[in-house]
Amino acid sequence: MSVNQQAHAGPPYGQPQPGYQGYQQPAYGGQPLPGVPQSQYGAYNGPMPGYQQPVPPQGSLRAPPTSGAPPPASGASLPSGHLAYSQFGHGDVQNGIPASAAPMQRPPASQPFLPGSAPTPVSQTATFQQYGPPPASVQQLSNHMAGMTIGSTTASAPPPAGLGYGPSTSVPPVSGSFSATGSGLYTPYTASQGPSPTSVSQGLPLAQPLFPGQPMSTQRLPTQVPGFVPPPSSAGIGPSSYPPSTGAPRPPTMPGPPLPGQTVAGPPTSQPNHVSSPPPPSTMSGPHPGPPMSGLHGPPPPTHPPQPGYQMQQNGSFGQVRSPQPNYGGAYPGTPNYGSQPGPPPPPKRLDPDSIPSPQLNELPPQQKPRHRIDPDAIPSPIQVIEDDRSNRGSEPFVTGVRGQVPPLVTTNFLVKDQGNASPRYIRCTSYNIPCTSDMAKQSQVPLAAVIKPLATLPPEETLPYLVDHGESGPVRCNRCKAYMCPFMQFIEGGRRFQCCFCSCVTEVPPHYFQHLDHTGKRVDFYDRPELSLGSYEFLATVDYCKNNKFPSPPAFIFMIDVSYNAVKSGLVRLICEELKSLLDYLPREGNMEESAIRVGFVTYNKVLHFYNVKSSLAQPQMMVVSDVADMFVPLLDGFLVNVNESRTVIASLLDQIPEMFADTRETETVFAPVIQAGLEALKAAECAGKLFIFHTSLPIAEAPGKLKNRDDKKLINTDKEKTLFQPQTSFYNNLAKDCVAQGCCVDLFLFPNQYLDVATLGVVTYQTGGSIYKYAYFQLETDQDRFLNDLRRDVQKEVGFDAVMRVRTSTGIRATDFFGAFYMSNTTDVEMAGLDCDKTITVEFKHDDKLSEDSGALLQCALLYTSCAGQRRLRIHNLSLNCCTQLADLYRNCETDTLINYLAKYAYRGVLSSPVKTVRDALINQCAQILACYRKNCASPSSAGQLILPECMKLLPVYLNCVLKSDVLQPGPEVTTDDRAYIRQLVTSMDVAETNVFFYPRLLPLTKADVDSDSLPAAIRNSEERLSKGDIYLLENGLNIFVWVGVNVQQGLIQNLFGVSSFGQISSALSTLPVLENPFSKKVRSIVDMLQVQRSRYMKLIIVKQEDKLEMLFKHFLVEDKSLSGGASYVDFLCHMHKEIRQLLS
């Protein structure tokens, strides 16, 4: 099968991939590796002895999508010019880390120390992960955050209280651990914890904590994080939360050096527009779910009286950190090493509200009364974790050859090399090391789930899955469980049979597929066959995989436009018709095809439906009206669905006429269900799958099937009946959805409501057919046109699989038990979707049905059968192998918090359909408390109950969980409509991990800190009002909206450069796009906005927010670390509440 004549997306299989020069490439037929026999076979698709050449199929290798739509970045990608820094040593780690890498290098175990002396540099500045058991002598190591010190000594006694920390000789000095004054508690670690949690002082100079009152030494980063200079270690904010900049006011600073233990958190109360909080009481911690009436939820009062003059050696706890030094906005806390490869993690974090004394209120000047008893800088920072993962893991390709590797975070921009496991762009798991028994899984309460995005878009540097054609016989499968051939199958008896890796059944190898084995038991054509060497690939399906045993026709797109009074008067109808004229040239097409195979049809409707005959032989389009909406039929077959190129002039004429025909309409009522029925009937008559694009404006109250009434009732919120607001009013739409799925009719819905529309009911068909909903409330041409047109273009152009069925197979021991997403299920195993696009995910939960073994691990195989946009039936296969463990510590070391939150949000958002919202919220809090309590009890070293200990890879679980709890679905503010909640609920259910990450914890960028000469983004800051400075401009994005917040004291020059007006007062809040101005700052900000738009699957609405303006309340809703107006807890309060819950579980 020759591949030379086709345009394809990557080099032929079997040649070294571009961009990886110098890496050995066992899976790509590149340089031979020692121990791997030189293949005597040609490159993939080259001739192979003993293998009959099948007829080449059309389009066997996939070309890059030629549509003009920008590919969505999965993972927040960095711009091209953003330098990524390698944290790996030279030659130590190459192409991924096998499970038995050499132990990492450590700083010298004994280190002379003089208080205040220069920091001693570590011998090796790179960060390594250690894979063997740690040497017992070195156990006290540095931590990632200033003020959260980690200590663990095997047998050294606590130093005398009141002395500086003279380290014992066997312990390397701690880097950056500053604790506040107070009890001289010293928490020893014992060696009984399984693999003791250790980390090296990751590439930082080792700086000793100094005596109280001495200046603090600076921590230096091994590689400079672009965009800011690390200030001295004091109160750790996220990277660059306020790098010194001229003219920008800073958080309150102390006059002169601060007193020991003194802290500042929160802006001065004199700052306008700050919602002042009550002074901290001495009540027990824990936010109440109710409104913020109940006194401020601070931690319990300190149990040890403060001892002024001594610095508390509270090893292993989050100590209070000192206030920012004058002229610095707080430190860069700790070293970059989050989210790294599995291996013993750094020691867990501990927060000890009991022993963090609050400075006496009367010690502080009046404007510096602390707002929280726990310094927000002393608790885990999402920004820090994201930055550290970027600097540690963004520079090396992620090679998928090793079982159970935790991938880099979704916020890190990295390349993937497929060497036998599916890319994390296709599958991400909550844990990559799963418990061997169901008892252990129940004990930990960590859900075992995979978020699967079968048709994910890949960046241009990565190769699309290869298409394999086995001819008439079809793909090779296991006889018993029907799993598809994959890299984990074991060939036996000289290659004549293979043993299934999923069910262990032995199957004969078909004669045409036979190949000899080499001395290691591998087939000699291993590297020439994608299904033997790669984690993801496609098979061309045979006729047995098609409906009614005949190959499918190419799909059709039907555009169905509401022409009622509202739609016409708002200018929407004219806008849609104008756009479609050009958009129809960009329908999706198979890689090497001249034109799209998709046919199109047009319908308009209000109380009745109008079908249009646009047959190419007609001079003018013909309209046919169906007014009997109770018994819907399609009045014409020939001429309704047409090829765009053949009927171009007739279609153009129709699109010109529609706005004129209905210009004077007085019809305000609409139907809805008959519109879907009409599209469904048209596809049935044409015997093809397809997609309906419905543009709809109002509640369908006209007399017709599926008629709805306005049932919106705010009084139901917080009652047992609240769940009815999320459920459809009638079962009519569920039955209609079932018929649509059977035909492969996918429905995409564009809504333009001016009042209640009942998204919960109208969205049912869209949701169950795998479609998308877009909502533009109070649509106005001048402000919403760009967003709607961009969404429409992308929706029409994106890659879609039609008539899709997905099944997930697992190896013995676990099975898929639960599914979340936009699909329909008629049985317990098959996920059916009329359409599945490149943005949709299906989340699958697994449960044990037997024991697993550590040796064999666990395997998943996701098989998606679908029809391509050219009408070709295909199977896309994704395989993933996971480790299994008998120790809880191994489970907690290999979890992925972002994926866990994605699963928990979907689980909770489904829960609101059947349970009161409060029950759902309590269940979420309880499950997370159990996860963390199990870790505390079984994996952390014994220590005082007053300490909160979080696993390294789950330390962001509390902050992210709090964001889910405060979201509009689970805790709506008064301004959130019922439709908004139903819309968000459906949206989140099929989001991928990168989308839920930024949706729940938005990205906040200081635009005034952006470097206009580089391509990089400014370093993000934490989502809290106290991080904002009145003299700066910030951008906040959450995947649906982009806010540009302008402080009242921003320099006039910046306002002029960005908005083209001379003062703050003249900035218009009505802008929906930034003016195009010829200056570096304007160009930079617009390029940042464009870069963010490309990364997201929807075009985000731009909202300008002026400080102290009415829109600011909306903006503050997204500052998720603060208290919310709807009663949601601040991050600090919620952390204390979680701590209380965990303590209750442990006691």
Tell me the per-residue pLDDT of 897-931, one tens digit each, with 9 for 90 and over: 999 999 999 999 999 999 999 999 999 999 999 99
Q: Where would I find the beta strands (DSSP E) of 587-744?
A: 599-605, 609-613, 622-626, 642-643, 690-696
Give the lowest-confidence range in 149-153, 551-555, 590-594, 695-699.
Answer: 149-153
Q: Is 426 helix (H, G, I), strand (E, B) or coil?
A: coil
pLDDT grade for 1147, boundaries at 50, 70 and 90: confident
What values do phi and psi take at 1027, rounded to 5? Answer: -90, -10
135 — pLDDT class (breaks 50, 70, 90): very low
Closest CA relative to residue 1133, chosen from 301, 268, 296, 278: 296
Q: What is the mean pLDDT of residues 515-530?
A: 94
The answer to whether residues 115 and 107 touch, using CB atoms and an 8 Å cutoff, is no
pLDDT at 349: 55
What average pLDDT score do residues 491-506 get?
96
pLDDT (tens digit, 9 = 90+) per residue, 274-304? 333 344 443 344 444 444 343 344 444 444 4
Lowest mean pLDDT among 307-311, 993-997, 1038-1042, 1076-1080: 307-311
Is residue 207 predicted with pLDDT exceeding 80? Answer: no
Please report which confidence band the pLDDT of residue 1005 belongs to, taking 50, 70 and 90 as the band edges: very high
Mean pLDDT is lowest, of 232-241, 644-653, 804-813, 1042-1051, for 232-241
* Other C-beta atoms lying within 10 Å of the C-beta of residue 310: 20
Q: Measure Cα distances from 992 to 415, 424, 788, 791, 989 in Å.
A: 18, 11, 22, 18, 9
Instruction: Give the global pTM.
Output: 0.72
Beta bridge partners of 451: 428, 843
* pLDDT on residue 558: 98
Confidence of residue 120 (pLDDT cuts 50, 70, 90): very low
Give the confidence band of 973 by pLDDT, cuts at 50, 70, 90.
Answer: confident
Instruction: Give me the mean pLDDT over the 948-974 stretch.
Output: 95
917 SS3 class: helix
Q: Which residues contact 192 (CB under 8 A, 6 or more apart)?
A: 941
Query: Containing H/E element for 858?
Result: strand 858-867
Q: What are the start-end ranges of the H helices in 1006-1130?
A: 1052-1059, 1080-1095, 1112-1116
pLDDT tens sequence across 652-685: 999 999 999 999 999 999 999 999 999 999 999 9
Pairing of strands 1003-1006, 449-452: unpaired
769 φψ region: left (φ > 0), alpha (ψ -120 to 50), beta (else): alpha
**Of 393, 267, 378, 376, nearest to 340 (Cα)?**
393
Tens-digit pLDDT profile for residues 161-181: 433 333 333 434 333 333 333
Band of residue 255 on the pLDDT scale cut at 50, 70, 90: very low
AA letter at 59: G
User: What is the number of other CB atoms lying within 10 angstroms of the CB of residue 722?
Assistant: 20
pLDDT of residue 161: 41
Of 204, 223, 289, 260, give the one whose Cα is nearest residue 85: 223
Nearest-5° Cα angle at 414, 958 to 954: 15
State residue 787's pLDDT score: 97
3-state secondary structure 755-792: CCCCHHHHHHHHHHHCCCEEECCCCCHHHHHHHHHHHH
The 10 Å Cβ neighbour count of residue 1144 is: 10
Pairing state between β 690-696 and 745-751: parallel
pLDDT, tens digit (0-9, with 9 covering 90-100), for 1084-1134: 999 999 999 999 999 999 999 999 999 999 999 999 999 998 889 999 999
Query: In this structure, what are the phi and psi dihedrals at residue 183, rounded to the nearest 5 degrees?
Result: -60, 145
In 725-855 the beta strands, taken as DSSP E runs, fall at 745-751, 773-775, 800-810, 814-820, 831-837, 842-848
- Nearest of 660, 620, 614 to residue 638 by alpha carbon: 614
- How distant, in Å, are the alpha carbons of 218, 483, 491, 810, 864 from that of 828? 58, 17, 31, 14, 16
Q: Are strands 506-508 and 948-950 parallel, antiparallel or unpaired?
A: unpaired
b or e along 468-499 (b: 16 or more beta carbons within 10 Å of the residue's beta carbon)?
bbbeeebbbebeebebbbbbbbebeeebeebe
Res. 808 pLDDT band, cuts 50 70 90: very high
Give the per-residue pLDDT at 855.
Answer: 95
- Find out whether 319 and 180 touch, Cβ atoms under 8 Å: yes
pLDDT over 90 for what percent of the chain? 65
CA–CA distances in Å: residue 1039 to residues 72, 332, 836, 1036? 12, 27, 20, 10
**Confidence check: pLDDT of 618 > 60:** yes
- Cα–Cα dist 387/1139, whole Å: 26
Its sign, for the CA torsion 420, 425, 430, 431, is: positive
What whole-number distance in Å separates Cα of residue 529 and Cα of residue 219?
Answer: 50
Coil, strand or helix at 907:
helix
Confidence of residue 637 (pLDDT cuts 50, 70, 90): confident
Q: How many CB atoms lie within 10 A of CB 560?
A: 21
CB 915, CB 723: distance < 8 Å: yes
Reading the block at residue 596, the tokens are 């799209």
CA distance 896 to 999: 17
Non-local CB neighbours of 5 within 8 Å, separated by 6+ positions: none
Q: Please list the alpha-helical segments (H only) found in 433-539.
A: 438-444, 530-533
- Picking from 444, 320, 344, 394, the residue whose alpha carbon sits closest to that of residue 103 is 344
Closest by CA to 874, choosing from 538, 476, 548, is 538
Please name the residues in contact with 804: beta carbons below 8 A apart, sequence gap of 6 or more: 770, 832, 833, 834, 835, 836, 864, 865, 866, 867
Those residues with Cβ within 8 angstroms of residue 708's Cβ, 6 or more apart along the chain or in another chain: 672, 699, 700, 701, 729, 730, 758, 761, 762
| Predicted pLDDT of residue 475 | 96
- Residue of higher predicted confidence among 149 and 743: 743
Residue for token digits 């690390």?
A: 230
Cα-based angle 171, 174, 180 (whole degrees, multiple of 5):
125
* N-to-C CA span, the chain: 68
CB 1050 within 8 Å of CB 1029: no
Give the angle subtended at the CA of 1120 by the CAs of 320 and 712, to the nearest 5°. Answer: 150
User: Letter for the amino acid at 930?
Assistant: Q
Which three-class secondary structure state does DSSP give residue 506?
strand
Q: Which has the closest alpha carbon to 555: 589, 591, 596, 598?
A: 598
359 band by pLDDT with thresholds 50, 70 and 90: very low
* Mean pLDDT, rounded, of the chain: 78
CA-to-CA distance for 881 and 420, rounded, in angstroms? 9
Q: How confident is the model at residue 347 (pLDDT cuts 50, 70, 90)?
A: low
Q: What is the pLDDT of residues 27-86, one digit of tens each?
A: 444 444 444 444 444 444 444 444 444 444 444 444 444 444 444 444 444 444 444 444
- The per-residue DSSP string of 532-566 comes to HH-SEEEEE--GGGSGGGSPPPPPEEEEEEE-SHH
Average pLDDT over residues 249-265: 42
Tell me which residue has tokens 């070294």: 16
pLDDT classification of 792: cutoffs 50, 70, 90:
very high
Average pLDDT over residues 757-785: 97
Taking CA atoms, 1000 is separated from 384, 849, 993, in Å, by 17, 33, 11
Is residue 698 very low, low, confident or very high in pLDDT (cuts 50, 70, 90)? very high
Q: What is the mean pLDDT of residues 378-400?
A: 95
CA distance 61 to 43: 14
Nearest to 1103 by CA among 1094, 1095, 1112: 1112
Q: Which amino acid, residue 537?
A: Y
Task: Tell me how long the chain is.
Answer: 1147
